[in-house]
Amino acid sequence: MKAAAIQLQARVADVDANLEAVERVADGAGAAGAECIVLPEFFTTGIGFVPELADAALAPDGEATDLLRSLARRHGAMVGGSFLCRDPDGEVRNAFFLATADGALAGRHDKDLPTMWENAFYVGGSDDGVIDTPHGPTIGAAVCWELMRTQTVRRLRGRIDLALTGSGWWSVSENWPPRSLFSRLEAANHRAAVDAAAAFALYIGAPVVHAAHAGDLDCAMPWLPMPYRGHFEGGTLITDARGRILDVLDRTDGDGFAIADVEPGRQAPLRDLPDRFWLHRRGAVATLAWNYQRLHGRSWYRRHVRGRPARPAPERAPVA
């Protein structure tokens, strides 16, 4: 199967511009023969601590799913990706939808735990991430820091033939002193962003197709007087079941796609699960941000996001 992973330089909270960019890049992947196309996490919006995201969530049957289905039919390919999805219960979730080549929706996975400031914009899910496709491989969906957690591997290990994953992994801020310290922290953060996706295959024993964001990000910092100024880490890549990278994009490559032939199937994982919550060690700064931004974000979500209506869909032609 020829698989493609999309890399996107999103405009945060600009749904129309991002849908247009995703369609353009995904059409390029389809024209190159991709039979499976995965879009990055938050492909409709990007991510940052940007208040406009409170009004950017789409309905589960809205523009984002229409695009997935349209791309799937147009290119005869599986197409999947996650976006801020406002469900009928008024809650927003980071929902990964997968469309099959005939344009049907095969299934959905909700990211289990929001990461850091993401807590301000959605709540977690509880499904296992396993999506069966008719006459095709069983897919495991995992989103960003789900690739960092042992519970994700426990859900998927030995049960899937192909992992479709995406991230919106941001850098350590580039404007905080002391610069020398934060430069070292950022070097480690960048390695973690790339390694987490590449190593995931070693834990699950199946190929990984990983889409990611690139580009710069400027936004506020929760509960802090200084702003955040940084970038997305990129790390768009495709691996085989043994963790060997078949194609990769650097964040400096901007919009584009990685593409490679993969062989879906289940092999014995090459790595044992560690007896801890995180697959990969995190540093003190990441641990601090994880905890304080979760506390801030849950309160912000209750006050500003929960119960709002989904973003109205513009007039559009029926799905092709």
Element holding 212 (H helix, E strand): strand 208-213
User: For residue 37, how many other CB atoms are within 10 A of its CB?
Assistant: 32
Using CA atoms, how far apart are residues 143 and 162, in angstroms rounded to an integer?
14
φ, ψ of residue 8 to 5 degrees: the values are: -130, 135
Can you give the pLDDT of all 320 residues of the chain as single tens digits? Answer: 999 999 999 999 999 999 999 999 999 999 999 999 999 999 999 999 999 999 999 999 999 999 999 999 999 999 999 999 999 999 999 999 999 999 999 999 999 999 999 999 999 999 999 999 998 999 999 999 999 999 999 999 999 999 999 999 999 998 887 878 878 889 999 988 989 999 999 999 999 999 999 999 999 999 999 999 999 999 999 999 999 999 999 999 999 999 999 999 999 999 999 999 999 988 888 899 999 999 999 999 999 999 999 888 776 555 45
Using CA atoms, how far apart are residues 275 and 47, in angstroms rounded to an integer?
31
- Provide the strand spans (E) within 71-178: 78-86, 92-99, 105-110, 130-131, 139-143, 162-167
pTM: 0.95
Q: Would you state the pLDDT for residue 81?
A: 98
The alpha carbon dihedral of 134, 236, 184, 199 has a sign of positive
Q: Is 175 left (phi over 0), alpha (psi -120 to 50) or beta?
A: alpha
φ, ψ of residue 162 to 5 degrees: the values are: -160, 130
Q: State how beta strands 228-231 and 216-219 pair.
A: antiparallel
Q: Would you state the pLDDT for residue 316?
A: 55
Q: Would you state the pLDDT for residue 68?
A: 98
The alpha carbon dihedral of 3, 202, 282, 296 has a sign of positive
Q: Would you state the pLDDT for residue 180?
A: 80
Q: Would you state the pLDDT for residue 175?
A: 85
Q: Would you state the pLDDT for residue 159?
A: 97
Q: State how beta strands 245-249 and 130-131 pair.
A: unpaired
User: Under 8 Å CB-to-CB from 104, ≥6 apart: which residues?
Assistant: 69
Using CA atoms, how far apart are residues 10 and 4, in angstroms rounded to an integer?
18
Element holding 295 (H helix, E strand): helix 284-304
Q: Let me know: does 273 contact 256? Beta carbons within 8 Å.
A: no
Using CA atoms, how far apart are residues 240 and 244, in angstroms rounded to an integer?
6
Q: List % helix, strand, coil for the chain (3-state, nearest 5).
A: 30, 25, 45
CATH superfamily of 2-304: Carbon-nitrogen hydrolase (3.60.110.10)
Using CA atoms, how far apart are residues 228 and 87, in angstroms rounded to an integer?
30
